[in-house]
Structure 1
């Protein structure tokens, strides 16, 4: 789920078939359980992986139910205090740069170009694309969400719009995750294989500077000519976004709405989560898998 290099072959790639009804959820679930039962107890790695896969199938249905229960998720912020957070009319130049994979951040752009060419991208990178659009570029989630919906061959409205709002921080109940596009590149594509595949214009940039080409000695020969300059400073943009998000979360009326959303939409796996906790900066802004912005 994390690496765009390994995800191409390691993920099941069944999502388009499920989305379009070419295969049923029942068939996939039964096949998965049959395979898990057939494995010897000593094969703990694959048994664990298949249990995780089964959990993802359950989440598939959970998110579809969210949209069926509250269709406005596709068009309105789930938590209404975020209604005026971002301009409804997107910055056209920033949106187009993001859509074309021309933001000046190689790993981010490689993910978008890969999606454009194949119609598929692994989960972590989908989340990063949406989060950068919402936080670093400060775009309202509707326009970027529509672009991704058009790109995904496995577009499923219930899953898609719930995830778009989750990665944009507008649900009011999910952890705010601001992905660092440079760090993600180092973590998920350390050798630069993925970037080299989708950004041939960076051929002259040495490997050690591939994730930050603006720092290369020959940057002036490539940046601004063959490859665009950065359209935002990822550190400054993340800091500004975090402060704006917390301006909303600190408002006294925020928690009441969040608790109502938890009761209606949160997972029932753990009943103790039915009451939304008071927002704590360390908890609500914890970043996944040790990421920093």
Structure 2
């Protein structure tokens, strides 16, 4: 998938990607390829120049749909490409083999019509790999599986326990502390500050 491959090429070269691209890579690895989250987490940790374990691993788990309290995020790399790289500039920069393709086919080179393939001398599978599977069908399967798992009584109970433990307690608000003595920018110069 060109946007995924371009993202990985950019990451290997620069050590950095924006948040959306990072989330899409994790989503593709876990939902698209069905990889356990720990393997991609370790691989990405080795590549990120700004790797920070406390942020990295919690984001990996959240993007992989494991927190149970967040909305499930499955980023479709084809849709992301249409929205975020419609002319295929990012893809062209990091995947030069696709630069000669017309804009409309840079994100889906395997769908290039036969007449244009012949004219450009481009052969999907030779000049750029064919997709390993139908990402959209695989993502739907994972969404369904995770949704069903989250609906079990055990999962709902565990989620409620976690939310109760981590969220503020309702109705047990602490009284506000008294104001600290400090100078105010708005006090009169002759006013005495306690």
Q: What's the counterpart of residue 123 of structure 2?
A: 222
- What SS is found at the alignment partner of 2:122? helix
Contact 1:202 1:222 in 2 (8 A): no
**Residue in structure 1 matching 2:29, options 133, 142, 158:** 133
Is 1:182 matched with 2:78?
yes
Report which of the two structures shows the higher radius of gyration computed on alpha carbons. Answer: 2
Give 5+ residue unaligned stretches, structure 1.
1-104, 273-293
The corresponding residue for 2:16 is: 120
Q: Secondary structure at the match of 2:147?
A: helix
Measured on the aligned residues, the alpha-carbon RMSD in Å equals 1.7
More helix by share: 1
- 1:200 and 1:265 map into 2 onto residues whose CA distance is 48
TM-score with structure 2 length normalisation? 0.80
The partner residue of 1:207 within 87, 103, 106 is 103
Kept in 1: contact 2:10–2:94 (CA 8 A): yes
CA shift at 1:213, angstroms?
Answer: 1.0
Give secondary structure in 2 for the equivalent of 1:111.
helix
Q: Does the Cα contact within 8 Å between 1:106 and 1:210 map onto a contact in 2?
A: yes
Which residue is equivalent to 1:262? Answer: 163
Q: CA deviation at 1:263?
A: 3.2
One of 239, 249, 265 as aligned partner of 2:140: 239
Relative distance call for 1:111 and 1:256 in structure 2 (3 A) is same
Q: Is the 8 A contact 2:124 2:130 kept in 1?
A: yes
> How much has 1:206 moved relative to structure 2?
1.5
Where does 1:136-151 land on structure 2 (aligned, <5 Å)?
136-151=32-47
Number of aligned pairs? Answer: 165
The answer (yes or no) to whether the contact 1:130–1:167 under 8 Å persists in 2 is yes
TM-score w.r.t. structure 1 length? 0.54
Q: How far, CA to CA, are the matches of 1:265 and 1:164 in structure 2?
A: 19
* CA displacement at 1:260 relative to structure 2: 2.2
- Residue by residue, what CA displacement relative to the aligned partner does 1:26-68 show, whole Å, maximum 9, x if unpaired? xxxxxxxxxxxxxxxxxxxxxxxxxxxxxxxxxxxxxxxxxxx
Q: Which of 86, 98, 108 is the equivalent residue of 2:4?
A: 108
Distance between the aligned counterparts of 2:123 and 2:17, measured in 1? 27
